[in-house]
Structure 1
């Protein structure tokens, strides 16, 4: 089963048993970035100078991507100049996670459960229903990052997003964070994709870095 980059990031962020989302804020930006990167890899959008444009509005055949492609085209079409990638990510990071987890439910990889916090406040959790996709994902990441296997384009893109959002502990639990971060940095900066895709990754990483800095400032304050 081939799933999207956004779904892969979501699987990494959801606790298998409780279904609770971990590192929610950082993961939400990475999920939005994953959708955008898949669209760039599919040749539907391009990024130049940090600005986003739709180059091919035709459907990809993947509902999650096609819905976002339509939204991006409508949103960008209202502007006289190409909008910034950061502006789209800021807009979509609040909505993309829900759309992504709904797609995982459709695939039967997670299941939605309703709970109440303190017996009053309703919350939704998404525990694992089929662990095959996540197992394959983690094996692929370990093969590249820990064992030195050559990454394909999508895996390298996923690594760049994980590193940009600082989701090291979700992707590699139990591994030394500094060592993992150094390996991810090297892979993320590699010449593994076309220039337009690398430009998209660069813009998304810059956006996520800005969010990480802002979060640290808020916490420190």
Structure 2
């Protein structure tokens, strides 16, 4: 299995062990768009210049969600701000990321009806326990929060994303609020 993207890790962190989105929309949608843009920046495909997103290398990275976003940014004749791309890329992104995790066996899709009327789809782990990739991401972030000094770029990006969408306090309830806020500000 290919390494997970930041979007994959954010989805795993946003869904609880029963497969329910504890973050809600549009927070998850926008967070995933940010994760895609950060992943492209870390891969050296885009950068922010003069407050606008610019493609520096249009070569696909080999991940459909990322390649689609890169192609859309490259094909747009107008240079836009990153926040403009967040809303443009958000539509349908959670479903695509979740489908990718289902296809690779990290999650499973359970569909049913509530009160026999309202459709509901949940995305629990196939084993019923927290996926190992989620555990690893959570531990990586916790280690960074508890340590001092520089943090690896992917971990810093994931911490920034969780803070931006309001997931950090849900993930790290055991840490003092002041420590969490100070350290995430320092990492950002």
TM-score (norm 1): 0.76
- Residue in 1 aligned with 2:34? 33
- Tell me how far 1:12 sits from its aligned partner: 0.5
Distance 2:169 2:115 in 1: 29
Instruction: List gaps (5 residues or longer) in structure 2.
Output: none
**Equivalent pair of 2:159/2:168 in contact (CA under 8 Å):** no
Residue in structure 2 matching 1:95, options 89, 92, 101: 92
Describe the shift of the 1:149–1:136 C-alpha distance in structure 2 as closer, same or farther (beyond 3 A): farther
Q: Is the deviation greater in 174-183 or in 127-136?
A: 174-183
Q: Alignment partner of 1:160: what SS?
A: helix
**Equivalent pair of 2:150/2:187 in contact (CA under 8 Å):** no
- Residue in 2 aligned with 1:171? 171
Which is richer in helix? 1
Runs of 4+ more than 4 Å apart: none
TM-score (norm 2): 0.88
**Equivalent pair of 2:15/2:23 in contact (CA under 8 Å):** no
**Equivalent pair of 1:163/1:185 in contact (CA under 8 Å):** no
Q: Is the deviation greater in 151-160 or in 165-174?
A: 165-174
Counterpart check, 1:143 vs 2:140: no
Backbone CA RMSD of aligned residues: 1.8
Instruction: List gaps (5 residues or longer) in structure 1.
Output: 189-221
Q: Is the deviation greater in 128-137 or in 145-154?
A: 145-154
Superposition pairs for residues 191-206 of structure 1, below 5 Å? Answer: none
Superposition pairs for residues 41-56 of structure 1, below 5 Å? Answer: 41-56=42-57
- Residue in 2 aligned with 1:62? 63
- Residue in 2 aligned with 1:2? 3
